[in-house]
Structure 1
Amino acid sequence: MNILRLNTSLGKCDIFWIVDYHKYHIHDQNGQKQKNPMVDEVSRHLMDLKSTENKNFDIAVAKKSRLVLRELDTVLEKNEKAILCLVPSSKANKYGPGLLRIAQFLQRKDSRIAAVTNLIQRKTSIVSLHSGGDRNISIHKGSLAIGEKIKQDRTYIILDDIATSGNSLAVCADMIEYQGARRVIPLAIGKTYA
C-alpha cells in the first residue's frame, strides 16, 4: 500500500493507493501524442472499469475486487467496521459501474464493510478529469455534496478507481471529516504514475 501525502487548501490529507496507473497515451518532448510503453494489464483493467461496454469489464471488476479485498487489512483494524462510499463520476448523480460492482463484492466478502452508501454525490456535472477536465480542488468543492447524515462513531472508506492529483478524494475526505466521522480512509485503486 502506498501513501500520497497532500497539503491542500483543505489541510493535510493522506491518500492510500494500491497500484500505479500508466496513462494509455503520453506526450513526447515535442508535445506529440504517443502510446505509453509503460501501459500494462493493471492499467488497462483500471480503464476497463469505466464502462460495462468494455470487453474486459467483468475481468477487470473481478481482479480489482480481489485486489482491494486483500488490501483492506492494510487500512482497517481486525474488528473495525467501516462504511464504504464511492467518489462519484464526473456526471451528476452517477457512479462508475466498476466501482459499484467492487463495492458490492467487498460488502459480500468482508464483514468489516458494514454498509455501502452513495453518501457523496455529484450535484453538477464536470468535465471528466481523464478527458482533460480541470483538476482544481475548487471544482470538486463546488460540485460535490454529502447526501446523508454522517455517523460520527464510524470509519468511512472513500473508494476511487484512479487518483491523479488526489483532489477528488481529498475534498470527499474533508467533507466527511468536517461532519464528524471518527476516521476517514481515502483509497484509490490506482494512482497515475508521474
Structure 2
Amino acid sequence: MTSNLQAHLNSSVHSPRDVPCRGKGCTLTFVSPSAMLLHLESGTCCSGITRGLINDKIRQLDRNNIITDPSRMIAGPSGARDEVTYYATGASWNGRGFECYLCHGTYSSLRALNQHLASPRHQDKIYVCPLSTCRVRFTALSALCQHIESERCGVSKFRAVKNTMDSIVGQMGRLTF
C-alpha cells in the first residue's frame, strides 16, 4: 500500500509544471523534460519543431555517441538523415479494420492507422541508454529521457549523463525556423 501511495505522490498529478517549452513562441509548461520533448516530437508545438529536426540536431550534438547509435544515424550528402515516412490507403482495410502492414496492428479508422504510421513506432532505434550495463534502445529522445528520469537502471546517478541531457534539452529552442 505504501508503494502505491508513493507512486501516486510521485506521479505527474502532483508534480509542478515547471519545465518550459523550448520552442520559440510557445508558452506551455510541462512536468518533466521528457514531457516537453514529447510535445516537440509530436509536431504540435507552434514553433514548428518536429521529431526529425530533433534527431538531426542530436546527431550534430552527440559527436561522441554518448546517447546515439552511430550505425543508426547514417546521414545523406546534405548532412541530414532521411526518416522513412509511411502512409496507408483504403487498401489497408482487411474486413475488420485498417491493418498496419508493418506490425499487423488493426485500427478502427484510416486516420488512426496513419497516426500510428507517423509515430516513431516503426523508426530505427537511434537512441541508446549510455549505461554500459543497460544499453536499452529507443526510437525517440523523449523515450530515452523518460528512461533516465525513471531511474530504473541507475544511469541518472552519473553527473555526466545529467549534464549531457540538460545541455541537449536546453538547446531544443535553437531548432526554430
Does TM, normalized by the shorter one, top 0.5?
no
- Which of the two has greater helix per residue? 2
Q: Which has the larger radius of gyration?
A: 2
The structure with the largest strand share of the pair is: 1
- The TM-score with structure 1 as length reference comes to 0.29
* Higher RCO (CA 8 Å, separation ≥ 6 residues): 1
Q: What's the TM-score once normalised by structure 2's chain length?
A: 0.30
